[in-house]
Amino acid sequence: MPASLSTAFFTSFYKAVVRTTLFRFPPETVHHWAMAGLACGAVTRPMGLLCRESFPTLRRTLWGIEFPNPLGVAAGFDKDALAPLAWERLGFGYVELGTVTRHAQPGNPKPRIFRLPPQHGLINRMGFPNDGAAAMAARLGKLRGRGAWPSIPVGINIGKSKITPLEEAAADYVESFRLLRDYADYFVVNVSSPNTPGLRSLQGRDALLGILGPLQEENGRGAGKRKPIAVKIAPDLRDDELGPILDAIVEAGCDGVVATNTTVNKNAVPLKEEGGLSGLPLRARSTEVIAQVARHLGGRLPILGVGGIFTAEDAKEKLDAGATLLQAYTGFIYEGPAFARRVCAGLAKA
C-alpha cells in the first residue's frame, strides 16, 4: 500500500476507533497513558515505520541548527522530558520540552483540561505542573549518559515558578536556564501562559527587559556556546502592545518569537471554562498575530508559528504569514500519531 494511503487509513482508524474510545476518559488521564506509551521504545519504534518519513525539501537551518522538517511538538506536551526519543519517530522535526520551572510544582487543581470536540479545541488551565528544572536536567543527563539523544533539535521552554514573586522572576528564569543550558539547542521564555497569576504582565516592555537582560548576561557567560533564546507571546495582545514588546525582544538580543500561546478569548466556543483555548478556534487569530509580528520585525527575527495547525494547508497558511518553523499540540491530539507525517507530506507537495 502506498505510504499516503496507509497513513490516511491509520488516521481514519485513529479517529473512528482510538480517539472515540480515548475521549470517553478524562483528558489528563489519557495524556498520562499516551506519555507512558511514548516513553516506551517498544511502542514508538514500530510506530516509526508508519509515521516517520524524511522530506529533504522541508529541511530548514535556523540559528545554525538543522531541522529535518519545520513542524515541532509545541510546549506543554512533554513537560518533563519523559519521552524525548519518541517525537522523531512520530515524524516531528523538533520538540520543545517544558514548560519547566525552577521549582517543582503541582499545577492547578484537576480537572484542568477540557475538550471541545465539535470545535476541535481544548481549554487548559494546567498552571505548569512539572518536576522542576533540576529534575529535568538529571533526566536529560542520564539520557545523554546512555548515549541516547534525539536526532532532532531539542528546545526547552522555561516559565516562572508560581511561588516566586514577580519581582524575582528574572532570577527564577536564569536558574532554570543555567541548570538546563547544556541540554537544549534553543530556549523559549514563556511569559504568555494565562494560567500562572501575573505571568502575562511580564510581557510589558520593562518587565520583559528585566528578565531577558539577566538571561542574556548568563547566556554570554562561561565557556559554553551561546544558546538562541526566543520569547513566546500571547495571541491576546492589543495591536498597540505588540510593537513595544517586539522591540524589547530585539533590544534584549533575543533570537526569535514563538507566536502564539493559547487565547483567553472564548467567544468562538460554547464552553467558558477558565484557562487558555487552543486548536482550530485559535487558528485564524494566531496566523493574524504571526503576520503582524512579521510585518513589525521585517525579517529581523525568525518566527515559530503555533496555533490551530491540523493540516498541511494550516501549516502553509502560517509559513505564508511569515513563520520559519511551526509547532502543534491540539492538532496532534485530534489527528493522531500520523499527524506530523501527513502535514509534512502535504507541505512537501505544496
Which of 46-54, 75-83, 141-149, 236-244 is the region at the interface with ligand FMN (rule: CB under 6 A)? 75-83
Which of 223-231, 289-297, 324-332, 341-349 is the region at the interface with ligand FMN (rule: CB under 6 A)? 324-332
- Beta carbons within 8 Å of 39's beta carbon, 6+ residues apart: 82, 83, 86
Under the binding rule (CB under 6 A), the answer on residue 99 touching ligand FMN is yes
- Does residue 324 sit in helix, strand or coil? coil
Nearer Cβ to ligand FMN, position 193 or 287? 193
Per-residue x/- marks for ligand FMN, 126-165, CB under 6 A? x-x----------------------------x--------
Burial readout 224-263 (b: 16 or more C-beta within 10 A, e: otherwise): eeebbbbbbbbbbbeeeebebbbbbbeebebbbbbbbbbb
- Shortest reach from residue 72's CB to ligand FMN, in Å: 10
User: Which one among 308, 322, 336, 337 touches ligand FMN, defined by CB under 6 A?
Assistant: 308
User: Which one among 262, 287, 292, 324 touches ligand FMN, defined by CB under 6 A?
Assistant: 262
Which of 144-152, 212-220, 304-312, 335-343 is the region at the interface with ligand FMN (rule: CB under 6 A)? 304-312
The residues that bridge with 66 in the sheet, in sequence order, are 61
Return the residues of window 11-50 that contact ligand FMN according to CB under 6 A.
none
Nearer Cβ to ligand FMN, position 76 or 148? 76
Separation CA 33–CA 29 (nearest Å): 6
The bridge status of strand 229-233 relative to strand 325-328 is: unpaired
- Shortest reach from residue 159's CB to ligand FMN, in Å: 7
Residue whose C-alpha cell reads 491540523 in the numeric block: 310
Which of 74-82, 84-92, 206-214, 221-229 is the region at the interface with ligand FMN (rule: CB under 6 A)? 74-82
Catalytic residues: 193
- Does residue 256 sit in helix, strand or coil? strand
User: Which one among 95, 113, 290, 345 touches ligand FMN, defined by CB under 6 A?
Assistant: 113
Contact between residue 88 and residue 152 where contact means Cβ atoms under 8 Å apart: yes
Q: Which residue stretches of 146-199 are H helix?
A: 169-180
Under the binding rule (CB under 6 A), the answer on residue 105 touching ligand FMN is no
- Shortest reach from residue 276's CB to ligand FMN, in Å: 7
Residue whose C-alpha cell reads 478569548 in the numeric block: 265
Residues in binding contact with ligand FMN, number by CB under 6 A:
27
Separation CA 306–CA 158 (nearest Å): 17
User: Which one among 84, 194, 256, 307 touches ligand FMN, defined by CB under 6 A?
Assistant: 307
Separation CA 73–CA 329 (nearest Å): 6
User: Which one among 44, 190, 219, 324 touches ligand FMN, defined by CB under 6 A?
Assistant: 190
Q: What number of other Cβ atoms are within 10 A of residue 319's Cβ? A: 17
- Beta carbons within 8 Å of 175's beta carbon, 6+ residues apart: 102, 133
- Beta carbons within 8 Å of 131's beta carbon, 6+ residues apart: 80, 100, 104, 139
Separation CA 266–CA 65 (nearest Å): 37
Under the binding rule (CB under 6 A), the answer on residue 193 touching ligand FMN is yes
Q: Which residue is nearest to ligand FMN (CB)?
A: 76
Nearer Cβ to ligand FMN, position 73 or 345? 73
User: Which one among 70, 72, 256, 279 touches ligand FMN, defined by CB under 6 A?
Assistant: 279
| Residues that bind ligand FMN in the complex, under the rule CB under 6 A | 74-76, 79, 99, 113, 122, 124, 126, 128, 157, 190, 193, 232, 261-262, 278-279, 282, 306-309, 328-331
